[in-house]
Amino acid sequence: MFRIAGAGSVTAARLSAACCRAVTSKQFQVHGASLHVLSSETSRKTRNGPAHRTPPSWQSVRAMASAGESQSKINYLFYGLAVLFGGGGIVYWWSRKYMRETSKDGSTSKKAAAPAAAASKEATEPVAETPVTATTKSEAPPAQPAAAEAPAEAAPDAESKKLLDATPQSYPDYEVMPEIPGHAKYLLIGGGTASFAAFRAIRASDAKAQVLVVTEEEELPYMRPPLSKELWYSDEPKLVEKMKFKQWNGKERSVYYNPPSFYVEPKELAYQENGGVAVVKGRKVMKLDPQKQVAVLDNGWEIFYDKVLIATGGRPRNIPVFERASQEVKDRVTLFRGIKDFKRLDEVSKNASSIVVVGGGFLGSELTCALGKRSRDSSLKVIQMFPEAGNMGKVLPEYLSQWTTAKVRGEGATVKPETFVKRARYSDGKVILKLNTGEEISTDHVVVAVGLEPNTELAKESGLEVDDTYGGFRVNAELEARSDIWVAGDASSFYDIKLGRRRVEHHDHAVVSGRLAGENMTGAKKPYWHQSMFWSDLGPDVGYEAIGIVDSSLPTVAVFAKATEKDTPRAVVEETGESLRSVTETEAEGVVAESGETTATPEVESATDEAPAPDVEAAAKLVAEVEAENRVAPTPKEDYGKGVIFYLRDDVIVGVVLWNLFNRMPIARKIIKEGKQHQDLAEVAKLFDLHADED
């Protein structure tokens, strides 16, 4: 391993290129060797020694060697040996001893020309105590007689001059620079939303930050929500081919957060004096060494880092029946997650006669609605099945889950609740599914959407802790797993200072946790307190937003009101121009903060031992008595226009679902943050202004 320490970014980068060229020019065969360019700060940190001074000018050394003088060639050799084996300290010593004769233009003078006393003084005088000042004409030493060979040594040769003036793009050794940098001040593992939010936060705090992102995907950072929502509702195939979609308001947008021009080529990152973000695609980090602060890639390459973020996200969870199936069956099963999966399913849906969606959660229900809509204009048959009693049955109260199931059926899909696959086999080009009900279904393709498994392969090799209960890397409230190692997004099992330890698999959590991790990587030291939200759209007319712990096994109390034309996902996008509701809710929170409006919950008497808090049934009766037009825990036959559902734990609101109710998330967030007990939830519901848009 060659390590060049103590140099500025440009000098070190050029020096590394020269070393690479030297190796390749001699045709040395180096197995597993890597060349690392370290900043002086990193060098100090790893060596635990004093600050290294800048080594002698590479150009001047090159000029001397090019001149052909034997002593200069020896110096050139010493320089290389010092770099390879001695580090910055020896390089500096050598520079003082051998480079004293080097003038600013790179030429050399004879040792005899300099007074011996002056040379002795210069050799022993510490650099740190000698300020560098401009030399005036009166202070300049007298000109020395030129030697006979002086014209040949007066200036660098053409190649050296080109080296001095070259830019990274025209630098003659640019093509032999390593494709992946050997050092990154900020290393982000994973190229998803959490990484995107993190490097935005890092660049906001450190304007000249050089950030390196390593991702397994062959894509630049992109947003996942449109893959199961808007992309399926576009009537322009060419738009979808470019991974662009129309928001519910009709405006076009790309799934990629930034255009390719935003990013820097990885090999150019060290040259960016004003910082930048580079993405290494198609590579996986296999191991971290927290002591040496090194990340090892799947090709053996090592990257030294100062700060690292693990944002590896999750992989789609499969079910055993398909894991054990034949290869013919596996070839016809999609575990939906990324752009590659969307493109595959998009193509399948255009040619298949039937598709089965296994899973009744957010993703499964969204994909079923999207495919059902597409089936209206074709002969495609869409079937959804899940073990719960209704769509999103693990989140929504049973009555609302049943209503949602009816909505999905209305989109053109066949829904089979309380159903699961027992066996899967291949026959005559079809996948035959044997169900728990005894029924057999023949289909062309199967989509499995049953949640995620956090990507924690790094943990075992890197000495990091995995949460046995929630999965994911176990981190503290600041999202730190170990010193200088943070984790954000789906792979993070974090401590929520209000709701306890959690792991969340939603877009907004990736934004919130990624941003927090990025801020903490630059020294903010902030705990996780800003509750993330999530949302789901069953097409452009029905959607909901949620925050906190929303588990259908918890007691719930709901208040509903009549919906208006403004109470749809399409309407909120038309009003805000933003399809990512995590963004619109953040903006709404900013408006509330700027206006000074209070979102505090009404002052109600907290429960005590003498006056115990009412149980859920009593709370429901209280709400029913307050307003006749509000409907609490209504029957499945009712049409739920818009409303708010409170999830209770020990009579404290720990989760809120806003059904077709938008731009109220700051209120819900504040209610959860306060963590109070409430006797009258109808009064709390009034904070959401359910009747604001009614005539």
Closest CA to 659 of 531, 563, 519: 563
**pTM, full prediction:** 0.69
Q: Please give the helix or strand (H or E) that residue 12 lies within, else none.
A: helix 9-25
Question: Count of CB atoms within 10 A of residue 410's CB?
Answer: 13
pLDDT number for residue 81: 59
pLDDT number for residue 578: 57
Mean pLDDT by 10 residues, the chain (695 residues): 45 48 36 38 36 39 49 57 53 46 40 41 41 40 44 50 48 70 96 97 96 97 93 84 84 94 94 94 97 96 97 96 97 96 95 96 93 89 96 93 91 95 96 97 97 94 95 96 97 91 92 96 92 79 87 94 76 62 48 36 32 38 38 49 92 92 89 88 90 63
CA 434 to CA 428: how far, in whole Å?
16
CA separation (Å) from 545 to 51, 120, 194, 524, 537? 53, 77, 20, 29, 9
pLDDT number for residue 73: 56
3-state secondary structure 593-661: HHHCCCCCCCCCCCCCCCCCCCCHHHHHHHHHHHCCCCECCCCCCCCCCEEEEEEEECCEEEEEEEECC
One-letter amino acid of 161: K
Helix, strand or coil for residue 109? coil
pLDDT number for residue 441: 96
CA 198 to CA 305: how far, in whole Å?
16
CA 275 to CA 298: how far, in whole Å?
26
Q: What single DSSP character describes residue 552?
A: T
3-state secondary structure 284-353: CEEEEECCCCEEEECCCCEEEEEEEEECCCEEECCCHHHHCCCHHHHCCEEECCCHHHHHHHHHHHHHCC
Helix, strand or coil for residue 574? helix
One-letter amino acid of 452: L
The tokens for 268 are 């150019």
